[in-house]
Chains A and B, each alone.
Chain A
Amino acid sequence: MDELLQAFCATLESAFNGLIAMDPEAKHRLADMQGKVIRIRLKEIDLSLTLIPTSDGVMVYPLYDAEPDTEIVGTPMGLINLGLGNKSALFTGEVEINGDVKLGQQVNRLLDQLHIDWEEQLSHLTGDAVAHHLGRAARGTLQWGTQALGGLATKLTEYLQHESRDLPLHDEVEPFLTQVDGLRDDLARLEARIKRIQHTLGNEE
């Protein structure tokens, strides 16, 4: 689902920006690249990410809809390197840069210096992927609809805590959630009733 991939990118974005905020040097260098479209492609696991440096950090998207200024292609530490304790490098071995080579090198150096915990980050993605497939299998039933709403809400709380400054207070929201739960029960009953009616109709025909 687009939303989950976006949520993953948003989480990654927060992780990046957290690190960048602690590193004035990195922030400064990023500002020079503001608004450039940087595609990062991990061979083998077929994962692309697009980074866009901004005035105050970096944005991360799955596949930004613009011709990249530079593309960095490499073999991911991903599955090979996970568990080998080398968590800070995004790429292993040779890296290929297409387009604006100088920009690509700048980015590459920055990524190396930021010490992102890639293992931690990828674990979010895997969780989402599983959720995605589960959702898909059950799709089409009313039950899925209600569960997905609940599941998404939980997932997103985590994401929102990263991103939001002005979320309503827990106390404000709590009564809603109780009512949402009530609604969900109502829906379950409604669904059962629809099924009964359908069943009755089916028998009459």
Chain B
Amino acid sequence: MENNGKTHFGFEEVDVQSKQGRVADVFHSVAAKYDIMNDVMSFGIHRLWKRVTIEKSGVRRGQRVLDLAGGTGDLASKFASIVGPDGEVILADINASMLREGRDRLINDGHAGNTRYAQVNAECLPFPDNYFDCITIAFGLRNVTDKDAALRSMYRVLKPGGRLLILEFSKPVVPGLNQVYDVYSFKLLPMMGKLIANDPDSYRYLAESIRMHPDQDTLKGMMVEAGFERTEYHNLTGGIVALHKGYKI
């Protein structure tokens, strides 16, 4: 997919090395207002998408979960209250500001003892082989430069029987929705970004990165390529978002 060391930063092509820096800038600049923006941007529906993700994760007491690109910890917080004292949740993100917001939030929610925090790059996870029962990455994969490397890395640290869940924007499958969605994401989203986070560029980047992200079947293929089995996906809200799931067997 990538050639001459160029990669997509939204629609602009940028050097691979600089993408990580620019993604980091985007999330530094939105970290503090991130949760509010999420609610407004998606009319709150992201909460329901995340519920579906928890539901499909099947995480239970005593398990070890990695919430990768976990940001402000929406999923991590729920997992921490499920796995209990004999389980463990690791909130991991490449961005220190996001991770700090996430840690504050989890502590605020009353979680301590079964939570850890790690500043990591999804492409080369610093965890042992066969370590996690479940990995989730919600609205994170599209920001990762080398997605194939990231998928391989996630595969490596999953236990046999463990599963990966990818919640990500995808390609709308309901006729007509595409047009609505284009207007929404290219006009309305940056405008809301300006009003709430005072940062239209970051939200324009989000809209563009959504458009560049692989569609449902392409991502499924990439998971298979990385070694995942029993892969499947589930369209949500007409395919605006898809939840992919795969197992390491």
Interface residues in chain A, defined as those with a beta carbon under 8 Å from any beta carbon in chain B: 1-3, 6-7, 9-10, 34-37, 50, 52, 54-56, 59, 61-66, 69, 139-146, 149, 152-153, 156-157, 159-160, 163-164, 166-168, 172-173, 175-176, 179-180, 183, 186-187, 190
A52 proximity list for chain B (CB < 8 A): 60, 82
Bound state CA distance, A187 and B184, in angstroms?
10
Please indicate the chain B residues that have their CB under 8 angstroms from the CB of A6 in the complex. Answer: 48, 51-52, 55
A187→B180 contact, CB < 8 A: yes
Chain A to chain B contacts (Cβ below 8 Å), 21 pairs: A3-B48, A7-B48, A35-B61, A55-B80, A56-B110, A62-B55, A63-B55, A64-B55, A69-B60, A140-B175, A144-B176, A152-B45, A156-B48, A157-B44, A159-B47, A164-B47, A166-B35, A168-B36, A168-B39, A173-B40, A176-B192
If A35-B84, A59-B78 are given as contacts, then 4 extra A-B residue pairs at C-beta distance below 8 Å, sorted by A number, are A37-B58, A65-B58, A160-B44, A179-B188
Number of contact residues on B: which range applies?
35 or more
- B residues with a Cβ closer than 8 A to A are 35-36, 39-40, 43-45, 47-49, 51-52, 54-62, 78, 80-84, 87, 110-111, 174-177, 179-180, 183-184, 187-188, 191-192, 195-196, 234, 236-238
Closest to B47 in A: A163
Nearest B residue to A139 via CB reads B174
Which of B36, B48, B61, B191 contacts A34, CB < 8 Å? B61
B36 touching A10, Cβ below 8 Å: no
